Amino acid sequence: MLALTNARLVLPDGVTTGGLLVRDGMIAAVGVVEVPEGAEVVDCGGALLAPGIVDLGVFKVDREACRRGGIVRVGLMPDQSPVLDDPGIVQRAALVGKPDLWIHPIVAATRELKGRDLAEMAICAEAGAKAVGTGRGWIADSAVMARVLAYAAGLDMAVVTHAEDGALTQHAVATEGETATRLGLAAAPAVAEALAVARDLMLAEEAGARLHIRQVTTAAALDLVRAAKRRGVAVTCGITPAHLHLSAMAVSDFRTFAHLSPPLREEADRQACLAAVADGTIDVLSSGHDPHGPEAKRLPFADSAAGMAGAETLLPLALMLVRDGLVSMERLFAMLATNPASVLGVDSGTLAVGQPADLLLLDPRTAWRIDGEAFASAGNTPFHGLPVEGRAVTLWKGGREVIAR
């Protein structure tokens, strides 16, 4: 028995002072609790006790980076080597991180992610897959996408999509606008995202499927998601801190650490994304963890790999939204834990009796400076050198301590 006392509990309806009991890896009591005789007692000292983060849509599993970032579960994208399109590969991926980190594989929607033949979703679901994904790319063939959504609907699995029309974004490394023009970078119009979102929303509505758009980063696409939600379409969407805190200006010096997919947007779209976080249109905040070493990043911008290391900075960058008054602490952890767990269909993401004791003790006021060179993973972060606040103090996975106090 583990008793956590003197904590500020991040509950779905607000932050309250109290404690939490853990028995056999599960939450046994929350709120005003009596400490049983013989229980191990942890005095939280008034720190925040929240659900452990569920990071939906990572491309690489870095266990130490996740520990430092307060992440207890990850939804692993199918873009692996080999691709997650076979039950044996899916099963192995699901077992790699246990017991400290639970990996929930997202099975490829099509074989080898080529956008043609459907993968064996049902067999892969039995092997441990928790969602279906199109990976880094968009399925161009609408007939194939319609079959993917229909198949996934029958399995009650969410389809995680990448929302960019591939015909418009082919060879592009930036968003059309002043910055891309000035630097002479191959660019695609921001409307490529809205076109992809519109098609996938219509097909999902027709199929009655659950659709999760992994990143929505433009005002036009966000308007489409809002309208679909009002119609009752089972759609959720996510974003990374980079698209909330940075605009296309971040690549002005050909800074490859800011080469992302989708690319950073113009300031008006960034502001629209912040508004969508505030009004609840955006459901999930994830790291987009896709680290690359110097051999892939220290190249001319157009030749560099798209992606960033995000696991270790997700928490402090997310807490900036609370300090800026955009969201409450409980709403933030709905985006970081409750909602991504719901998309994956796993019992986690909230401090409630009967849930796994996936717990994060954090100090939101600890000041530090982001140093990519000190990361556990390849440190290609566009936030290198940024002063931030907030760090994980202790992490428990199923009641088992992962970060030592």
Query: Residue 72 falls within a domain, yes or no?
Result: yes
> Cα(335)–Cα(54) distance, rounded to whole angstroms?
9
Radius of gyration of the CA atoms of the chain, in A: 20
Query: Residue 11 falls within a domain, yes or no?
Result: no
Range of the structural domain that residue 132 is part of: 52-350+365-385
Query: Residue 331 falls within a domain, yes or no?
Result: yes
| Residue 135: predicted pLDDT | 97
Cβ–Cβ under 8 Å, residues 327 and 317? no
Query: Residue 31 falls within a domain, yes or no?
Result: no
Residue-wise pLDDT for 84-118, tens only, equals 999 999 999 999 878 889 999 999 999 999 999 99
Q: Which helix (H) or strand (E) holds 182?
A: helix 178-183
| Residue 404: predicted pLDDT | 55
- The residue written with tokens 């308007």 in the block is 223
Stretch 374-385: mean pLDDT: 91
Query: Residue 36 falls within a domain, yes or no?
Result: no
Residue 296's identity, in one-letter code, is: A
Residue-wise pLDDT for 206-241, tens only, equals 999 999 999 999 999 999 999 999 999 999 999 999
Residues ≥6 apart with Cβ < 8 Å to 253:
none
Stretch 255-265: mean pLDDT: 96
- The residue written with tokens 């019992």 in the block is 347
| Residue 240: predicted pLDDT | 98
CA neighbor of 195 nearest in space, from 241, 143, 142: 142
Beta strands in 218-307 (DSSP E): 235-239, 284-285
| Residue 286: predicted pLDDT | 98
The per-residue pLDDT of the chain, averaged, comes to: 96
Query: Residue 372 falls within a domain, yes or no?
Result: yes
Residue 102 pairs with which residues in a beta bridge? Answer: 73
Residue 113 to residues 16, 84, 392: CA-CA distances in angstroms? Answer: 45, 9, 36
For residue 403, pLDDT beyond 80: no
| Omega before 262 within 30 of 0, i.e. cis | yes
Which CATH number characterizes residue 116's domain? Answer: 3.20.20.140
How many structural domains comprise the chain? Answer: 1
Query: Residue 263 falls within a domain, yes or no?
Result: yes
Stretch 290-311: mean pLDDT: 94
The dihedral built from the CA positions of residue 339, 66, 244 and 386, taken in this order, carries a sign that is positive
Cβ–Cβ under 8 Å, residues 306 and 379? no
Query: Residue 37 falls within a domain, yes or no?
Result: no
User: Within a 10 A sphere around the Cβ of 302, how many other Cβ atoms?
Assistant: 16
Query: Strand pairing of 48-51 and 40-43?
Result: unpaired
